[in-house]
């Protein structure tokens, strides 16, 4: 159970995130998606229950050890200092550096790899506070990738990306999972979730409304109950479901 000021937002949530899996968290506004991600990351202590990583309670991990195990990209991120993109992405290596240790060759390679994966090589010397919303979002993503953690927790990371960048972003996360790492991602876009995620957790009314493969969760009766309205669900030739909500009256 988790909430604010003694008022529960989430109840009865129990889940396991597996290595090599992309788990999507979806649901209407206020369903508790971001709160759940904060609980998983250890940034928010639940009212009851606990989060364990590799058998260790998250609350028992130091900040440095937690950052080695989990990389987090939250919503509403901003910077107060004019770092270059390369400097900012390089901050993802700090959990791997001991006291007074400077970044070495391995750290530099990790930075360059993250810049290349997110298509930011040409912007590496640009100031973060002068980037567009989509460019800044990619820089935050590169910083998270640079941590090389086993778990990646992302809150609406593709909201400012155009469709081409979204496709590239999905490729990055699929490769990340293919290396045996775990991805937990909050997504409002159900069609993007259908293509990206191995498993979906649909939240509604403070609990789990549905859980399973995208095909089993993205069904008309389930979505209508959680979101309201009259959703239309179709399956494309490649097997992926497509969801459309329409409130227009038929003429």
The string of pLDDT tens digits covering residues 135-155 is 999 999 999 999 999 999 999
Confidence of residue 9 (pLDDT cuts 50, 70, 90): confident
The string of pLDDT tens digits covering residues 67-89 is 999 999 987 667 767 899 999 99
pTM here is 0.91
Cα-Cα-Cα-Cα torsion 32, 136, 179, 34, nearest 10 degrees, comes to -10
Three-class secondary structure of residue 199 per DSSP: strand
Three-class secondary structure of residue 70 per DSSP: strand
Give the list of residues 6+ apart from residue 90 with CB closer than 8 angstroms, or none: 103, 107, 111, 146
Pick the CATH number of 2-212 from 3.30.160.100, 3.30.43.10, 3.40.50.300, 3.40.980.10: 3.40.50.300
Q: Is the pLDDT of residue 251 over 50?
A: no
Three-class secondary structure of residue 147 per DSSP: coil
Alpha helices in the chain, H assignment, sequence order:
33-41, 63-69, 85-90, 105-117, 133-146, 163-178, 190-196, 214-217, 220-227
Q: What is the pLDDT of residue 246?
A: 75
How does the average pLDDT of the chain come out, rounded?
90
Q: What does R_g of the chain's alpha carbons equal in angstroms?
A: 19
Domain ranges of the chain: 2-212
Contact 87, 111 (CB under 8 A): no
Three-class secondary structure of residue 118 per DSSP: coil
């Amino acid at each position: 159970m988790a909430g604010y000021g003694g008022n529960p937002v989430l109840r009865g949530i129990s889940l396991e995130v597996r290595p090599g899996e992309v788990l999507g968290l979806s649901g209407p506004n206020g369903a508790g998606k971001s709160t759940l991600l904060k609980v998983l990351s250890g940034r928010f202590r639940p009212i009851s229950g606990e989060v364990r990583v590799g058998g260790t309670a998250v609350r028992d991990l130091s900040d440095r050890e937690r950052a080695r195990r989990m990389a987090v990209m939250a919503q509403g991120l901003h910077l107060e200092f004019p770092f270059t993109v390369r400097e900012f992405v390089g901050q993802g290596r700090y959990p791997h550096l001991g006291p007074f240790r400077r970044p070495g060759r391995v750290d530099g390679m990790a930075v360059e790899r993250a810049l290349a994966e997110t298509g930011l090589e040409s912007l590496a010397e640009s100031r973060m506070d002068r980037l567009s919303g989509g460019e800044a979002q990619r820089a935050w993503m590169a910083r998270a990738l640079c941590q090389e953690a086993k778990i990646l927790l992302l809150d609406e990371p593709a909201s400012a990306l155009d469709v081409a960048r979204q496709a590239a972003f999905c490729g990055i996360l699929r490769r990340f999972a293919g290396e045996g790492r775990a991805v937990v991602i909050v997504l409002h876009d159900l069609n993007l979730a259908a293509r990206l995620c191995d498993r979906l957790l649909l939240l509604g009314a403070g609990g789990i409304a549905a859980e399973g493969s995208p095909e089993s969760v993205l069904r008309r009766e389930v979505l209508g109950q959680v979101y309201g309205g009259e959703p239309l669900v179709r399956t494309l030739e490649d097997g992926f479901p497509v969801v459309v909500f329409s409130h227009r009256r038929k003429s």
